[in-house]
Amino acid sequence: MIIAIDGPAASGKGTLARRLAAYYKLNHLDTGLTYRAVAAALLAKGLPLGDEGVAIDVARNLDLAKMDKSALAAHEIGEAASRVAVLGGLREELVRLQQSFGNKAPGAVLDGRDIGTVVCPDAKVKLFVTATSEARAKRRTNEMLSKGQEAEFESVLDDLKRRDARDSSRSVAPMKQADDAHLLDTTEMDIETAFQAAVDIIDRALAS
Ligand code: CDP
Ligand code: CDP
Protein backbone atom coordinates (compact mmCIF):
# COMPACT_ATOMS: atom_id res chain seq x y z
CA MET A 1 0.00 0.00 0.00
CA ILE A 2 1.29 3.45 -0.94
CA ILE A 3 0.07 6.78 0.41
CA ALA A 4 1.27 9.76 -1.67
CA ILE A 5 1.56 13.17 -0.02
CA ASP A 6 2.53 16.26 -2.01
CA GLY A 7 2.47 19.96 -1.35
CA PRO A 8 4.52 23.16 -1.16
CA ALA A 9 7.27 23.98 1.32
CA ALA A 10 6.30 24.00 5.02
CA SER A 11 2.71 22.90 4.34
CA GLY A 12 3.17 20.25 7.04
CA LYS A 13 3.40 17.29 4.65
CA GLY A 14 6.50 15.82 6.31
CA THR A 15 5.04 15.89 9.82
CA LEU A 16 1.80 14.43 8.49
CA ALA A 17 3.57 11.71 6.47
CA ARG A 18 5.62 10.61 9.50
CA ARG A 19 2.54 10.36 11.72
CA LEU A 20 0.48 8.55 9.08
CA ALA A 21 3.28 6.03 8.53
CA ALA A 22 3.36 5.26 12.26
CA TYR A 23 -0.44 5.01 12.42
CA TYR A 24 -0.85 2.72 9.39
CA LYS A 25 2.43 0.83 10.14
CA LEU A 26 4.07 1.72 6.83
CA ASN A 27 7.60 2.83 5.93
CA HIS A 28 8.15 6.56 5.40
CA LEU A 29 10.32 8.44 2.91
CA ASP A 30 10.69 12.22 2.82
CA THR A 31 11.73 12.46 -0.86
CA GLY A 32 12.78 16.10 -0.37
CA LEU A 33 15.75 14.74 1.57
CA THR A 34 17.02 12.93 -1.55
CA TYR A 35 17.15 16.24 -3.47
CA ARG A 36 18.65 17.94 -0.43
CA ALA A 37 21.36 15.26 -0.09
CA VAL A 38 22.42 15.68 -3.73
CA ALA A 39 22.44 19.49 -3.42
CA ALA A 40 24.46 19.34 -0.19
CA ALA A 41 27.06 17.09 -1.83
CA LEU A 42 27.49 19.50 -4.77
CA LEU A 43 27.75 22.47 -2.37
CA ALA A 44 30.35 20.60 -0.28
CA LYS A 45 32.43 19.90 -3.40
CA GLY A 46 32.12 23.55 -4.49
CA LEU A 47 30.54 22.43 -7.79
CA PRO A 48 27.84 24.29 -9.73
CA LEU A 49 24.29 23.11 -8.96
CA GLY A 50 23.78 22.47 -12.68
CA ASP A 51 26.51 19.79 -12.83
CA GLU A 52 24.19 16.92 -13.72
CA GLY A 53 26.94 14.32 -14.22
CA VAL A 54 28.16 14.64 -10.64
CA ALA A 55 24.58 15.01 -9.35
CA ILE A 56 23.61 11.68 -10.95
CA ASP A 57 26.74 10.05 -9.59
CA VAL A 58 25.87 11.21 -6.05
CA ALA A 59 22.29 9.99 -6.52
CA ARG A 60 23.49 6.52 -7.60
CA ASN A 61 25.53 6.21 -4.42
CA LEU A 62 22.88 7.60 -2.09
CA ASP A 63 22.08 5.44 0.93
CA LEU A 64 18.54 6.33 2.05
CA ALA A 65 19.14 4.84 5.49
CA LYS A 66 22.09 7.15 6.05
CA MET A 67 20.43 10.46 5.07
CA ASP A 68 20.58 12.75 8.09
CA LYS A 69 17.55 15.04 8.22
CA SER A 70 19.07 17.46 10.70
CA ALA A 71 22.24 17.87 8.62
CA LEU A 72 20.14 18.67 5.53
CA ALA A 73 17.61 21.01 7.15
CA ALA A 74 19.39 24.33 6.41
CA HIS A 75 17.40 26.90 4.49
CA GLU A 76 20.18 27.26 1.86
CA ILE A 77 20.13 23.50 1.23
CA GLY A 78 16.37 23.66 0.53
CA GLU A 79 17.02 26.47 -1.94
CA ALA A 80 19.88 24.53 -3.60
CA ALA A 81 17.71 21.37 -3.70
CA SER A 82 15.10 23.22 -5.70
CA ARG A 83 17.81 24.22 -8.21
CA VAL A 84 19.12 20.69 -8.74
CA ALA A 85 15.50 19.43 -8.88
CA VAL A 86 15.07 20.90 -12.38
CA LEU A 87 17.60 18.38 -13.80
CA GLY A 88 15.64 15.69 -15.67
CA GLY A 89 18.33 12.99 -15.63
CA LEU A 90 18.87 13.43 -11.90
CA ARG A 91 15.14 13.17 -11.27
CA GLU A 92 14.98 9.87 -13.19
CA GLU A 93 17.67 8.44 -10.96
CA LEU A 94 16.03 9.63 -7.72
CA VAL A 95 12.55 8.55 -8.82
CA ARG A 96 13.89 5.01 -9.37
CA LEU A 97 15.32 5.00 -5.85
CA GLN A 98 12.07 6.35 -4.36
CA GLN A 99 9.95 3.79 -6.24
CA SER A 100 12.05 0.87 -5.04
CA PHE A 101 11.69 2.16 -1.47
CA GLY A 102 7.90 2.31 -1.96
CA ASN A 103 7.78 -1.22 -3.36
CA LYS A 104 9.18 -2.80 -0.19
CA ALA A 105 6.69 -4.52 2.13
CA PRO A 106 4.49 -3.48 3.82
CA GLY A 107 4.35 -0.31 1.69
CA ALA A 108 5.06 3.31 2.41
CA VAL A 109 4.01 6.88 2.86
CA LEU A 110 6.10 9.06 0.53
CA ASP A 111 6.02 12.85 0.67
CA GLY A 112 7.33 15.36 -1.85
CA ARG A 113 6.16 17.32 -4.89
CA ASP A 114 5.57 14.72 -7.62
CA ILE A 115 4.65 11.55 -5.71
CA GLY A 116 1.02 11.39 -6.86
CA THR A 117 1.84 12.48 -10.42
CA VAL A 118 5.16 10.76 -11.27
CA VAL A 119 6.70 8.58 -8.54
CA CYS A 120 3.59 6.62 -7.47
CA PRO A 121 0.76 7.45 -9.90
CA ASP A 122 -1.05 4.28 -8.75
CA ALA A 123 -0.90 5.14 -5.03
CA LYS A 124 -3.87 3.86 -3.05
CA VAL A 125 -4.55 7.33 -1.60
CA LYS A 126 -3.17 10.73 -2.62
CA LEU A 127 -3.23 13.90 -0.55
CA PHE A 128 -2.21 17.37 -1.68
CA VAL A 129 -1.46 19.38 1.45
CA THR A 130 -1.54 23.18 1.26
CA ALA A 131 -1.75 26.27 3.45
CA THR A 132 -1.48 29.95 2.57
CA SER A 133 2.05 31.15 1.95
CA GLU A 134 1.77 33.38 5.04
CA ALA A 135 0.81 30.45 7.29
CA ARG A 136 3.64 28.37 5.87
CA ALA A 137 6.20 31.15 6.25
CA LYS A 138 5.08 31.63 9.86
CA ARG A 139 5.56 27.93 10.56
CA ARG A 140 8.96 27.84 8.90
CA THR A 141 10.08 31.00 10.75
CA ASN A 142 8.99 29.56 14.12
CA GLU A 143 10.69 26.27 13.28
CA MET A 144 14.00 28.04 12.50
CA LEU A 145 13.82 30.27 15.60
CA SER A 146 13.10 27.25 17.80
CA LYS A 147 16.31 25.65 16.51
CA GLY A 148 18.26 28.78 17.43
CA GLN A 149 18.64 29.86 13.79
CA GLU A 150 18.13 33.41 12.59
CA ALA A 151 14.87 33.91 10.74
CA GLU A 152 12.91 36.91 9.63
CA PHE A 153 9.29 36.39 8.53
CA GLU A 154 9.37 38.61 5.42
CA SER A 155 12.50 37.06 3.97
CA VAL A 156 11.35 33.51 4.76
CA LEU A 157 8.06 34.36 2.99
CA ASP A 158 9.90 35.71 -0.09
CA ASP A 159 12.12 32.61 -0.23
CA LEU A 160 9.17 30.22 0.06
CA LYS A 161 7.26 32.01 -2.69
CA ARG A 162 10.28 31.97 -4.99
CA ARG A 163 10.94 28.28 -4.36
CA ASP A 164 7.26 27.33 -4.88
CA ALA A 165 7.21 29.28 -8.16
CA ARG A 166 10.33 27.46 -9.37
CA ASP A 167 8.94 24.07 -8.26
CA SER A 168 5.57 24.66 -9.96
CA SER A 169 6.91 26.04 -13.23
CA ARG A 170 9.78 23.67 -14.05
CA SER A 171 9.26 21.60 -17.18
CA VAL A 172 10.07 18.19 -15.59
CA ALA A 173 7.67 16.88 -12.94
CA PRO A 174 6.42 20.25 -11.66
CA MET A 175 4.65 20.41 -8.29
CA LYS A 176 1.00 19.82 -9.12
CA GLN A 177 -2.07 18.34 -7.48
CA ALA A 178 -2.83 14.99 -9.16
CA ASP A 179 -6.34 14.79 -10.64
CA ASP A 180 -7.28 12.07 -8.14
CA ALA A 181 -5.63 13.67 -5.08
CA HIS A 182 -7.62 14.92 -2.08
CA LEU A 183 -6.89 18.54 -1.21
CA LEU A 184 -6.15 19.22 2.47
CA ASP A 185 -5.86 22.91 3.33
CA THR A 186 -4.20 23.12 6.76
CA THR A 187 -4.11 26.93 7.07
CA GLU A 188 -6.44 26.88 10.08
CA MET A 189 -5.38 23.46 11.37
CA ASP A 190 -2.87 22.46 14.01
CA ILE A 191 -0.88 19.26 13.51
CA GLU A 192 -3.37 17.05 15.38
CA THR A 193 -6.40 18.42 13.47
CA ALA A 194 -4.61 17.96 10.13
CA PHE A 195 -3.71 14.39 11.12
CA GLN A 196 -7.33 13.54 12.02
CA ALA A 197 -8.57 15.09 8.76
CA ALA A 198 -6.04 13.01 6.79
CA VAL A 199 -7.02 9.78 8.60
CA ASP A 200 -10.69 10.47 7.78
CA ILE A 201 -9.88 10.91 4.08
CA ILE A 202 -7.65 7.82 3.98
CA ASP A 203 -10.03 5.54 5.89
CA ARG A 204 -12.88 6.57 3.59
CA ALA A 205 -10.73 5.89 0.52
CA LEU A 206 -9.63 2.50 1.86
CA ALA A 207 -13.22 1.50 2.58
CA SER A 208 -14.48 2.35 -0.91
O1 CDP B 1 7.40 18.84 5.19
P2 CDP B 1 6.96 20.27 5.07
O3 CDP B 1 8.05 21.19 4.64
O4 CDP B 1 5.74 20.43 4.22
O5 CDP B 1 6.49 20.76 6.50
P6 CDP B 1 6.84 20.20 7.98
O7 CDP B 1 8.30 20.11 8.12
O8 CDP B 1 6.02 18.99 8.26
O9 CDP B 1 6.26 21.38 8.86
C10 CDP B 1 6.86 22.66 8.88
C11 CDP B 1 6.66 23.25 10.29
O12 CDP B 1 5.29 23.60 10.47
C13 CDP B 1 7.01 22.27 11.41
O14 CDP B 1 7.70 22.99 12.41
C15 CDP B 1 5.66 21.80 11.90
O16 CDP B 1 5.69 21.47 13.26
C17 CDP B 1 4.78 23.02 11.66
N18 CDP B 1 3.36 22.72 11.40
C19 CDP B 1 2.36 23.40 12.08
O20 CDP B 1 2.66 24.26 12.89
N21 CDP B 1 1.03 23.14 11.83
C22 CDP B 1 0.66 22.22 10.94
N23 CDP B 1 -0.64 21.98 10.70
C24 CDP B 1 1.66 21.53 10.23
C25 CDP B 1 3.01 21.80 10.47
O1 CDP C 1 10.78 20.65 3.54
P2 CDP C 1 10.47 21.55 2.36
O3 CDP C 1 9.05 21.39 1.91
O4 CDP C 1 10.90 22.95 2.55
O5 CDP C 1 11.37 21.05 1.13
P6 CDP C 1 11.72 19.57 0.72
O7 CDP C 1 10.50 18.73 0.66
O8 CDP C 1 12.86 19.09 1.55
O9 CDP C 1 12.22 19.74 -0.79
C10 CDP C 1 13.33 20.54 -1.16
C11 CDP C 1 13.23 20.78 -2.67
O12 CDP C 1 13.42 19.52 -3.34
C13 CDP C 1 11.90 21.30 -3.16
O14 CDP C 1 11.81 22.72 -3.15
C15 CDP C 1 11.82 20.74 -4.57
O16 CDP C 1 12.46 21.57 -5.51
C17 CDP C 1 12.62 19.46 -4.50
N18 CDP C 1 11.75 18.27 -4.48
C19 CDP C 1 11.26 17.80 -5.69
O20 CDP C 1 11.50 18.42 -6.73
N21 CDP C 1 10.53 16.67 -5.75
C22 CDP C 1 10.22 15.99 -4.63
N23 CDP C 1 9.51 14.87 -4.72
C24 CDP C 1 10.69 16.46 -3.37
C25 CDP C 1 11.44 17.62 -3.33
Q: Is the pTM of this model over 0.80?
A: yes
ipTM above 0.95, yes or no: yes
Give residue limits of the domains in the chain.
2-202
- Contact between 6 and 128 under an 8 Å Cβ cutoff? The reply is yes
What band does 208 get if pLDDT is binned at 50, 70 and 90? confident
Rounded CA gap, 198 and 77, in Å? 29
To test ligand 2's pocket by mutation, which of 13, 35, 43, 109 has the most ligand atoms within 8 angstroms of CB? 35
Contact 102, 29 (CB under 8 A): yes
Centre of ligand 1 from the C-alpha of residue 191, in Å: 8
Question: 116 CB less than 6 Å from ligand 1?
Answer: no
Q: Which residues contact 110 (CB under 8 A, 6 or more apart)?
A: 2, 3, 4, 5, 17, 28, 29, 31, 98, 101, 102, 119, 120
Top CATH class of 2-202 equals alpha beta
CA separation for the pair 75, 167 (Å, rounded): 16
Per-residue pLDDT tens for 79-100?
999 999 999 999 999 999 999 9
